[in-house]
Structure 1
C-alpha cells in the first residue's frame, strides 16, 4: 500500500516533488556524462586497483613472511571464498538501503582491510584482513553491476558493462604498476609494498565518501508513480517499518526466483570453471620475476595484458551488442564461446611455447596484449547483459550476487591448487637458495598452464545449452515484468 492511499493528498504531492528534485540532481552532468556514472566508475577503478595490489607484491610478501606459492595461493583463496559466501548479503542490503549507501559501506570496509594488510606483521594477520577485504568486495561488486544494468537499455548494455570494465581496468593497471614499482623501494624506512597498501586505502575511503554524498540510485530517476501509487522501494521501506519478517520473505522469494532460471544456472556452471584461469593468473607477476624480469619490466608486461583486457572487454561488449541485433537469441552466446576458446591457444603459447628468458620480453609483450584483447569478452558480451534480461529489474542485484557467490566459491580454489601443483607435481622449491635458476619459473608455468587451458575449454563447451534456454527465460522475465507493472 502506497502512502497516497492512506495519507493526505498534499503529503503525496510533496513526495512526488521530492522525487522529481532527486531526479534532477542525478541528471547533473560533467562534460556531458552523468555525475553518478562518473563516481560509480571511479569506485570500479578503486575496486580493481585493490584487487591487483597483493598479487603484484607476491614476491615481497613471500620474502617478508617466508611464504611459498601454496601459502600465497591461500591468501587469494581466503579473500575470494569469503567474498563468494558473502555476496548474497549485497542482494539483501539493497532491500534496506539504496545502492550508493551499500557501495559506500563496502568501499569503507575494503579500505580498512587494505590498510590493515599493509600494517600486518604476521602471516595470519594478513590472512584475516584478506577475509575482511573479501567481505567488502562482496557488497560492492553486485551493487555496481546492477547499477550499470539499470542505467542502460538492453541493446547497449554490453557497451555499458564494457565501459565499466574498461575504466576498472585502468584502476587494475594503476594499482598493479604502483605496487610493483613501489615494492622494491623504501619510504621513510617503511617497505614500499606496505606504503602502496596504505595509500590505496586512503584513496578508496575518499571515493566511498563521494559515492555516498553525490550518487543517486537510477531507480530514483525512474519514479513515475501517480496519485495513490508507490514504488517498490516505498513498499519495502513500509514493510521494514512494520517488521523484518516481510523483508526477509521478499529476500527469500527473490532468491528462489533467481535460482530457478535455467539461463542463470548454465552461466554459473560455465563461470565456475571459466573464472578458474583468471584466479590462477594472480601468479603472473611472481612468474615473470622468477624468470628474471625486473620490477619495471614485469609491470610493463602486466600493464600490456591489462590494457588488452580493458580494450577487449569493451570490444566484446560492442561486438555482442551488434551481434544481438542480428541474432537476438544467440549472438551473445557465440561471442562468449569465441572468447573462451581463444584462451586455449594463447595459454599454450604463453606458458609453454615462449622461451622463459629475459630475452623473450618482446615476444611476451604482444602475446599478452592480444591474449587480453580476445579472452576478456565473456562478462561484458554475454554474462552480465543476459543476467539483466532473464529476471525482473528488482531482482538484478540478487542475480549478480548469487553469480559471484557460486563462481567465486569454486574458483577461489584455483590459486592454492596452482601452488600445490607447482610444488608437489612440477618441483617448485620455495626454500631454494637460487629462485632465479629457471627451475622454479618452469614449475610455476606448468602449474598455471594446467589451471588455464583445461578450464577455458570446458567454459566454451558449457555455454552451448544457452542456445536452448536463453530465449525462453528472457520472454518469461518480460511477461513477469509486465504483470508487475499492471499490478
Structure 2
C-alpha cells in the first residue's frame, strides 16, 4: 500500500491543517465560479461579440474540458516532484489571468484563448490539493477533509449563478462606474474582471501556506523524479486503481447528465419556466451535494478505520447501489419527483465520489498521489462531461427523435453507467483488500 501506519508519522496541528483545507475550499469555490460563469453571461456575450450558440458551446465545453483534462495529467505529475503549494499558486495565477483575458476579450478567439488559460490553471488545483490533504491528515480525518475541499466545488457551481447574477445586476445599475479598471466596462465584462481580480487576495493567502512533509515518502525527493519507478508502482496496483478511476468516471456520467438535462426535462415535459426551474432545482442540488461532501467524508473515515481503503471503496459501492434507482427519472410523473430524483442522485453519487477520491490517495504511493488524482479528474471530465451531457442529447435526437423524450434518454444513459460503477467499486474494494493483506 501507499502509506505506512499512522503511529509512525508526525502530523501537522489540527488548527493548521483545517485552516489550509478551508483555504483550499475557498479556492475551489472561486475556481468553479470562474469555470461556470459563462453560462450566466451567454446572451450579453453573444450580442457584444456577435458569436453563435455553437461558439458559446465551444467556449463552455470543448475549450475548457479538453485542455483541463489533458493539462491535468502533467500537472498531477508535477505535483509529485515539486512543492505542491507552488503548483497551486501557479494555477491560481493562471486561471485569474485567463478570466481577466476573457473579460477584456474583443473577439471569439481571444475569449477562446482565455478559456484555455482558465482550464490549464484550474487543472492544477485538485491534484495538488488532494495530495497535500493526504499529508495533512491521518486516516480518521482524511475523508472529512477531502469532503470539505470538494464542497467548495459544489458551492462554486451555485455561486456562479447567485453571486454572478448579483454582480451583473450591480454593474448594470452603474454600481462600479467610479471603480478603476472596470468602471467603463459593460456589465458582463465587469463580472469577469472582478472574478479575475478576486484571485489576488486568494494568491496572497495561499502564499502563506507551508508545504507539509510527504508521509510514507521513504524513497526521497530524488526518486520521485523517476517516472519509470512511479509507473511500475501504479502498474502493481492496477487491479484496484483502474476500476476505481472508471467507477468514479461512470458516476460522473450521471452527475453531468442530470445537471445538463434535468432542467430541459422540467421545462419541456412539465412546462416550468427557467426562473421556476432555477429556484426549484438549484437549492436541493447544492444542499444535497454539500451534505454529502461533509457527511460522506466523515462516514467513509469510519469505514477506513476498520477496513482501510477497501472499506472506503465498499462504502462507495453501497452508495452507488442506493443512487441507482434514482436514474429511473423517466418514470417521474411530476416535477417534484424529477427534482427529488436529481437531488438524491447527487447526494449518493457525491458520497461515492468522496469515498473513491480519498481511497485513491491511500492506495497509491506518495510519489504518485498527484498523478493519481489527475486520473480521477481526467476520467470525470472526459467520460462524465463528454459521455453524460453529450450522449443524452444524442439519444434524444437520434434515438427517440423527440425532445419530450429527454427523460427516457437520461435513464438510458445514467442507469447502465451507474450499474457498471457499482460492479467496479466492489471490484476495486476486493483488490484493495488483497493489497493490504
For 1:270-419, what aligned pairs fall within 5 Å after superposition? 270-284=247-261, 287=264, 291-295=271-275, 298-299=278-279, 301-328=281-308, 330-349=310-329, 352-355=331-334, 360=335, 365-381=339-355, 383-414=356-387, 415-419=389-393
Structure 1 residue runs without a partner (length 5+): 1-22, 225-229, 237-246, 429-439, 476-487
For 2:111 and 2:170, how far apart are their aligned partners in 1?
Answer: 21
**What secondary structure sits across from 1:218 in the alignment?**
coil
2:24 maps to 1:40: yes
Aligned to 1:227: none
**CA 454–231 in structure 1, closer or farther in 2 if over 3 Å, else same:** closer
Alpha-carbon deviations, 1:300-340, whole Å to 9, x = none?
52132022111012222222222334445743233212322
Aligned to 1:204: 199
Aligned to 1:253: 229
For 1:202 and 1:295, how far apart are their aligned partners in 2?
Answer: 30
For 1:352 and 1:113, how far apart are their aligned partners in 2?
Answer: 43
For 2:65 and 2:163, how far apart are their aligned partners in 1?
Answer: 22
Aligned to 2:57: 72
Taking structure 2 as the reference length, the TM-score comes to 0.79
**CA 192–473 in structure 1, closer or farther in 2 if over 3 Å, else same:** farther
**What secondary structure sits across from 1:87 in the alignment?**
helix
Alpha-carbon deviations, 1:404-463, whole Å to 9, x = none?
3344333342233344444444557xxxxxxxxxxx5x3555544443333222211222
Give the C-alpha shift of residue 211 in structure 1.
Answer: 0.7
Give the C-alpha shift of residue 400 in structure 1.
Answer: 1.2
Aligned to 1:140: 125
For 1:285 and 1:127, how far apart are their aligned partners in 2?
Answer: 28
2:256 maps to 1:268: no
Aligned to 2:136: 151
**CA 211–345 in structure 1, closer or farther in 2 if over 3 Å, else same:** same
**CA 215–463 in structure 1, closer or farther in 2 if over 3 Å, else same:** same
Aligned to 1:437: none
For 1:453 and 1:413, how far apart are their aligned partners in 2?
Answer: 16
For 1:184 and 1:456, how far apart are their aligned partners in 2?
Answer: 40
2:430 maps to 1:454: no
**CA 340–51 in structure 1, closer or farther in 2 if over 3 Å, else same:** farther
Alpha-carbon deviations, 1:65-91, whole Å to 9, x = none?
3315x9627732342222221122223
For 1:27-106, what aligned pairs fall within 5 Å after superposition? 29=15, 34-57=18-41, 65-67=51-53, 72=57, 75-94=60-79, 97-106=82-91
Structure 2 residue runs without a partner (length 5+): 1-9, 175-183
Q: Is the 8 A contact 1:86 1:405 kept in 2?
A: no
Q: Is the 8 A contact 1:88 1:405 kept in 2?
A: yes
Q: Is the 8 A contact 1:89 1:139 kept in 2?
A: no
For 1:452 and 1:73, how far apart are their aligned partners in 2?
Answer: 24
Give the C-alpha shift of residue 345 in structure 1.
Answer: 2.5
For 2:230 and 2:144, how far apart are their aligned partners in 1?
Answer: 27
RMSD: 3.7
Alpha-carbon deviations, 1:388-416, whole Å to 9, x = none?
22222232112212333344333342233
Give the C-alpha shift of residue 203 in structure 1.
Answer: 1.5
For 1:321 and 1:138, how far apart are their aligned partners in 2?
Answer: 26
How many pairs does the alignment contain? 411
Aligned to 1:232: 220
**CA 102–380 in structure 1, closer or farther in 2 if over 3 Å, else same:** same
**CA 55–34 in structure 1, closer or farther in 2 if over 3 Å, else same:** same
For 1:415-454, what aligned pairs fall within 5 Å after superposition? 415-427=389-401, 440=403, 442=404, 444-454=406-416
Alpha-carbon deviations, 1:351-398, whole Å to 9, x = none?
55144xxxx4x55555544333222112222x2222222222232112
Taking structure 1 as the reference length, the TM-score comes to 0.72
Q: Is the 8 A contact 2:59 2:115 kept in 1?
A: no
For 2:92 and 2:353, how far apart are their aligned partners in 1?
Answer: 22
Q: Is the 8 A contact 1:336 1:378 kept in 2?
A: yes
For 1:65 and 1:338, how far apart are their aligned partners in 2?
Answer: 46
